[in-house]
């Protein structure tokens, strides 16, 4: 059962809204949900329903309203409303209450923003904002402190919008946010943060005069309404625009919207390029500025990769230094592709048969199936990572949860939780790692994904089992198994659902199946007969679900349907791995051992980058906001 208060009050049972009775009954439920899993006194409910003048029968009336709500909400003998002395408490899974999910998503976005992963933070914030269906508890008029609690949630919405705009500005999407900022500024004319974002977006779009005019409008409004001048941060931003401060063209320039002056470009740590700016650059629209910053970005990329070489090189290996682009990536290596330039750099991996990867907080973690180890690399890849550490005997896949911990599946029926590793004192000493094994009732644990508080694990590889196992990531214990009725081939989580590739060998039919948290119901999208034995890989992002068929088609799926909205032929590339990030969809291909970039706006391949050769096979893929990583095994992926 799902509860929604971010908009009109709704309770959904199996995705169907429940009738909630009279206005007073709905008000009681609204107050209980504002304090889900907390005690709410009967007097508090009376205050919210009638204010300072309750009727003599108020206490009895509240009891009646609660009794009717219980009849509506009780399922299979379970009543979510518990009676405590003098009040009530409603028990709700945080993943099934939209307000609680929003708070978790916003908190996770804050952590990613602090780590510089603005693209990931933006995706979390977009997911959070998508849960709002209108003003909190629209249509209700609470009589007491509930009004402040509703206002607090609406304030959280505006704050999340501003944070998401910061992420878009950092990713160079300044023109896209101008229309939204125009509306937000008109609705909240005294918010200086919104004014600053508007000025910065206008300036980056080549509209300097409009940016300065936006400052003057802000100044007039503040003087007319409050009799005060704009704050110091807004004044500093105006001065930076007047002097064409170069820092405003970089992601660090968004600091000006949050009360700090634009930071100057910092020198890179690598001795090879002491004057190169280390943060990734935004995409300015003015031609002269674009040319200048593309050159600087290339220099910064070269210096960053040079620094990585000092960390990853195995002394005396004779490999080419990754301080310069390469045309061929060695086996057991990681190819780093700079998105802006398309340049490829080769760095050594952490062991034999280098494979699946995951971004865990500010580090790239790589599974080496041949050596049974995990190799963490710091991001951005300018400083050394830790030495590899063992994890089980046959690691298969890796995923990261919202708390920055890693989960590794094993070809034995177990998954391993890894507390975020901390660096040891010695440079060659393994990191300090805390682990916990969680058995799962599968023949062996295969591909996995994290979402809705669970690790979703399918059997693999090459298993005839037809179940998905759920592990509670918070309590690190097995939760339950969901029968699917068909063999599983791939899995991803996104848009509030797990998406699982399934296949029925008896009918030679493949599906992309959807499972929502809290439900065992399977929604399946049947693929065409020519799509082969189930999807090879699935990813979520850019408003869609993306699935690679074993016959070389990339399917774009609308998660609201689900339905296929685009079929992109890629049989020539033979893609086997997929990731979404850096503004594109990326596939690692076996034909030509290459990386393909698919533009989600054009729905076609726009660039193919050769990477390896017959003796180095792509076995893992991951993205940050400006780099794509492809791990290469030997002749196979192990």
Q: pLDDT digit string (tens) for 367-389?
A: 988 888 888 887 765 444 567 77
Cα-only R_g, the chain: 27
- The pLDDT, as a whole number, for residue 350 is 55
> How far is 492 from 278, CA to CA, in rounded Å?
33
Mean pLDDT score, 536-559:
93
637 assigned to some structural domain: no
Q: How far is CA 172 from CA 42, 185, 204, 295, 528, in A?
A: 52, 20, 9, 17, 38
Tell me which residue has tokens 């005396």. 316
| Tokens read off for 108 | 């996770």
CATH code, 547: 2.130.10.10
- Kind of pairing between the strands at 40-41 and 16-17: unpaired
* pTM for the structure as a whole: 0.53
Beta bridge partners of 630: 335, 621
Tell me the residue length of the chain. Answer: 638
Question: 106 with 125: CB under 8 angstroms?
Answer: yes
| Tokens read off for 391 | 């994890």
> How far is 137 from 130, CA to CA, in rounded Å?
16
> How far is 179 from 523, CA to CA, in rounded Å?
37
| Own/partner long-range contacts of 59-67 (Cβ < 8 Å, ≥24 apart) | 61/24, 62/28, 65/21, 65/22, 65/24, 65/25, 65/28, 66/28
- The pLDDT, as a whole number, for residue 384 is 46
Q: What confidence tier does 340 reach under pLDDT thresholds 50, 70, 90?
A: confident
pLDDT higher than threshold 50 for residue 497: yes
- Residue-wise pLDDT tens digits, 177-221: 999 999 999 999 999 999 999 999 999 988 999 999 999 999 999
Q: Dihedral angle at the C-alpha atoms of 529, 535, 538, 544, nearest 10 degrees?
A: 0
Same domain assignment for residues 125 and 177: no
Same domain assignment for residues 199 and 327: no
Same domain assignment for residues 437 and 566: yes
Same domain assignment for residues 416 and 541: yes
Same domain assignment for residues 503 and 438: yes
| Tokens read off for 186 | 């008109």
pLDDT higher than threshold 50 for residue 526: yes
Phi–psi pair at 576, nearest 5 degrees = -125, -20
416 assigned to some structural domain: yes
Q: What confidence tier does 302 reach under pLDDT thresholds 50, 70, 90?
A: very low
- Residue-wise pLDDT tens digits, 238-296: 988 988 877 787 665 554 444 444 343 333 333 323 333 333 333 333 333 323 333 33
Nearest CA-CA partner of 104 in 89, 124, 126, 119 = 124
142 assigned to some structural domain: no
Angle at 244 between CA 243 and CA 245, to 5 degrees: 90
Same domain assignment for residues 407 and 555: yes
What is the count of structural domains for the chain? 3
Tell me which residue has tokens 């979390």. 124
pLDDT higher than threshold 90 for residue 314: no
pLDDT higher than threshold 80 for residue 530: yes
256 or 297, higher pLDDT: 256
CATH code, 186: 1.25.40.10
Count of Cβ atoms closer than 10 Å to residue 154 Cβ: 14
- The pLDDT, as a whole number, for residue 561 is 83
Mean of all residue pLDDT scores within the chain? 81
Tell me which residue has tokens 């034909």. 591
Question: 192 with 150: CB under 8 angstroms?
Answer: no
Range of the domain at 83: 2-129
Same domain assignment for residues 596 and 477: yes
- Point out the domain boundary residue: 224, 258, 292: 258
Side by side, the strands of the sheet bearing 487-494 are: 487-494, 497-504, 509-515, 522-526
Q: What confidence tier does 227 reach under pLDDT thresholds 50, 70, 90?
A: confident
401 assigned to some structural domain: yes
Count of Cβ atoms closer than 10 Å to residue 15 Cβ: 10
- Residue-wise pLDDT tens digits, 345-360: 876 555 678 889 998 8
- The pLDDT, as a whole number, for residue 279 is 35
- The pLDDT, as a whole number, for residue 348 is 59
CATH code, 72: 1.10.10.10
Same domain assignment for residues 176 and 112: no
Nearest CA-CA partner of 626 in 388, 336, 404, 401 = 336
Question: 350 with 370: CB under 8 angstroms?
Answer: no
Same domain assignment for residues 253 and 321: no
Same domain assignment for residues 85 and 189: no
Same domain assignment for residues 341 and 240: no
- Point out the domain boundary residue: 258, 290, 314: 258
Q: How far is CA 567 from CA 108, 540, 552, 603, 605, in A?
A: 33, 16, 10, 9, 12
Express as a percent the part of the chain with pLDDT over 90. 43
- Residue-wise pLDDT tens digits, 134-181: 899 988 888 777 888 888 899 999 999 999 999 999 888 888 899 999
- The pLDDT, as a whole number, for residue 479 is 94
Cis peptide before 564 (omega within 30 of 0): no
> How far is 585 from 559, CA to CA, in rounded Å?
16
- The pLDDT, as a whole number, for residue 299 is 31
Same domain assignment for residues 329 and 467: yes
Mean pLDDT score, 324-342:
80
- Point out the domain boundary residue: 191, 226, 258: 258
pLDDT higher than threshold 80 for residue 336: yes
Mean pLDDT score, 408-423:
82
């Amino acid at each position: 059962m799902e509860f929604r208060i971010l908009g009109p009050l709704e309770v959904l049972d199996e995705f169907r809204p429940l009738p909630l009775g009279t206005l007073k009954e709905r008000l009681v439920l609204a107050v209980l949900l504002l304090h889900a899993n907390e005690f709410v006194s009967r007097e508090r409910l009376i205050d919210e329903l009638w204010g300072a003048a309750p009727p003599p029968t108020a206490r009895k009336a509240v009891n009646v309203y609660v009794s009717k709500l219980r009849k509506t909400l009780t399922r299979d003998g379970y009543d979510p409303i518990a009676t405590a002395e003098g009040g009530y408490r409603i028990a709700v899974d945080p993943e099934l209450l939209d307000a609680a999910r929003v708070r978790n998503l916003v908190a996770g976005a804050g952590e990613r923003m602090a780590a510089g992963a603005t693209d990931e933070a933006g995706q979390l914030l977009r997911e959070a904002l998508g849960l709002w269906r209108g003003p909190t508890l629209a249509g209700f008029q609470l009589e007491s402190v509930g009004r402040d609690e509703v206002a607090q949630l609406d304030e959280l919405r505006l704050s999340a919008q501003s944070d998401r705009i910061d992420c878009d500005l950092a990713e160079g999407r300044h023109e896209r946010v101008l229309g939204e900022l125009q509306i937000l500024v008109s609705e909240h004319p005294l918010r200086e943060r919104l004014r600053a974002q508007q000025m910065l977006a206008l300036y980056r779009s080549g509209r300097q005069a409009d940016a300065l005019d936006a400052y003057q409008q802000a100044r007039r409004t503040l003087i007319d309404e409050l009799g005060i001048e704009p704050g110091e941060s807004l004044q500093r931003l105006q001065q930076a625009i007047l002097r064409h401060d170069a820092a405003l063209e970089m992601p660090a320039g968004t600091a000006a919207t949050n009360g700090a002056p634009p930071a100057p470009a910092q020198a890179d740590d690598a001795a090879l390029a002491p004057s190169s700016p280390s943060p990734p650059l935004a995409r300015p629209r003015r031609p002269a500025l674009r040319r200048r910053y593309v050159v600087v970005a290339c220099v910064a990329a070269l210096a960053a990769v040079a620094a990585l070489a000092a960390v990853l090189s195995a002394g005396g290996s004779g490999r080419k230094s990754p301080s310069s682009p390469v045309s061929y990536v060695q086996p057991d290596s990681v190819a780093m592709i700079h998105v802006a330039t398309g340049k490829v750099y080769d760095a050594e991996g952490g062991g034999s048969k280098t494979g699946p990867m995951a971004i865990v907080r500010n580090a790239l973690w790589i599974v080496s199936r041949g050596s049974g180890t995990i190799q963490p690399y710091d991001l951005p890849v300018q400083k050394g990572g830790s030495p590899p550490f063992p994890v089980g005997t046959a690691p298969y896949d890796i995923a990261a949860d919202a708390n920055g911990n890693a989960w590794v599946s094993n070809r034995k029926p177990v998954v391993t939780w890894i507390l975020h590793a901390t660096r040891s004192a010695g440079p060659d000493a393994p990191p300090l790692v805390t682990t916990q094994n969680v058995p799962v009732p599968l023949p062996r644990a295969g591909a996995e994904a994290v979402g809705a508080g669970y690790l979703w694990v399918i059997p693999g590889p090459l298993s005839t089992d037809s179940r998905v196992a759920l592990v509670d990531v918070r309590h690190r214990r097995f939760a339950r198994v969901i029968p699917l009725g068909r063999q599983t081939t791939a899995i991803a989580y996104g848009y509030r659902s797990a998406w699982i590739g399934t296949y029925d060998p008896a009918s030679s039919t493949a599906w992309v199946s959807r499972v929502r948290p809290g439900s065992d119901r399977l929604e399946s999208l049947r693929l065409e007969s020519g799509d082969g034995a189930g999807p090879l890989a699935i990813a979520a992002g850019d408003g869609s679900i993306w699935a690679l068929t074993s016959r070389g088609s990339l399917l774009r799926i609308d998660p609201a349907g689900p339905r296929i909205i685009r079929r992109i032929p890629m049989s020539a590339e033979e893609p086997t791995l997929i990731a979404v990030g850096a503004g594109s969809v990326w596939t690692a291909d076996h034909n030509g051992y290459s990386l393909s970039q698919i533009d989600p706006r054009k729905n076609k391949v726009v660039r193919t980058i050769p990477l390896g050769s017959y003796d180095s096979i792509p076995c893992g893929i991951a993205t940050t906001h400006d780099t794509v990583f492809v791990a290469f095994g030997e002749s196979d992926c192990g």
